A and B are shown apart, each in its own frame.
Chain A
């Protein structure tokens, strides 16, 4: 499944990364405690979190996560967007809860 398929299925807003939406997503991770995400998330996951500061881009870079969904309608910090562009990480947002997003990801087959 591609990031574009996920955006279509969940009606997500693309904050940055328009040109990288054809990347494949194999699995997912949900969590807000960055150190745990660093230790536990798999590469090529879509990561669902309420955190929206620049540290999430650093964690994604370390774990090799290519796509982050920021839930609960939180807006992404400007410096995080800037780093996401540099690191070629797709950042999406949704007004829904992490639970609702993960449930729909599951229904899509992730």
Chain B
């Protein structure tokens, strides 16, 4: 995938297809250690051992419509090509933690892409899903969560067009500010 945000959307959609009601997502850039780290933790159905053992193989998929699944294999290949790795911890019935690393300064590390749009989509498209996203750049961080937003909005739905529009700008400005902070 050309942009990293597409990978985030892809793995979050895996969680949603796996019946998760809670997703914690973190993206961390650390210049001091030259690390790019991302993690997604969900409370979905988990991955059975037989599938987990083969999950980085693109011919493993739970889809019925085609015989190959490339989301995880492509993300795994991208991490390895960027001097990092992808690890998956999972327990059937409890949930899954996907964690990946890459060298922050690796020339082949995909650009972030429109992460504000990705987060906005995830936060507003699923009424019964709690999502918390933490974006860290060195010592600065930005947290946005459906719980916090719902508290502020009260009776107003997160999927209200005005809210959706505002949320994009809110996320975009806060993430941009992380990169501009000293």
Give A residues with C-beta under 8 Å from B: 33-36, 38, 51, 53-55, 57-59, 61-62, 79, 83
Please classify the interface of chain B as helix (H, G, I), strand (E, B), loop, or mixed, using the class held by over half of its residues: loop
Interface size on B, residues (CB 8 A): 13
Q: Is the CB of B57 within 8 A of A61?
A: no
Q: Which residues does chain B contribute within 8 Å of A83, judged by CB atoms?
A: 59
Q: Which residues does chain A contribute within 8 Å of B74, judged by CB atoms?
A: 34-35, 55
Task: Return B4 CB to nearest CB of chain A, in Å.
Answer: 12
Q: Is the CB of A59 within 8 A of B70?
A: yes
Q: Is the CB of B57 within 8 A of A54?
A: yes
**A55 vs B2: C-alpha distance in the bound complex, in angstroms?**
16
- Closest chain A residue to B10 by CB distance? A35
**A83 vs B77: C-alpha distance in the bound complex, in angstroms?**
17
Known: A35-B6, A79-B57. A55 touches B67 (CB 8 A): no
- Closest chain B residue to A60 by CB distance? B68
CB pairs A–B below 8 angstroms (14 shown): A33-B2, A34-B77, A35-B1, A35-B70, A35-B74, A54-B58, A54-B73, A55-B73, A55-B74, A58-B70, A59-B58, A62-B66, A62-B68, A83-B59
- Closest chain A residue to B7 by CB distance? A35
- Closest chain B residue to A86 by CB distance? B59
Pick from B1, B2, B6, B73: contact of A58, CB under 8 Å: B73
Known contacts A55-B77, A59-B70, A62-B68; can you find 10 more A-B pairs with CB under 8 A? A34-B70, A35-B2, A35-B70, A35-B74, A38-B70, A58-B58, A58-B59, A58-B70, A61-B68, A62-B70
Q: Which residues does chain B contribute within 8 Å of A34, judged by CB atoms?
A: 70, 74, 77
Mask, B135-177, CB within 8 Å of A = 1, is: 0000000000000000000000000000000000000000000
Q: Which of B60-102 contact A (CB under 8 A)?
A: 66-68, 70, 73-74, 77
**A51 vs B1: C-alpha distance in the bound complex, in angstroms?**
14
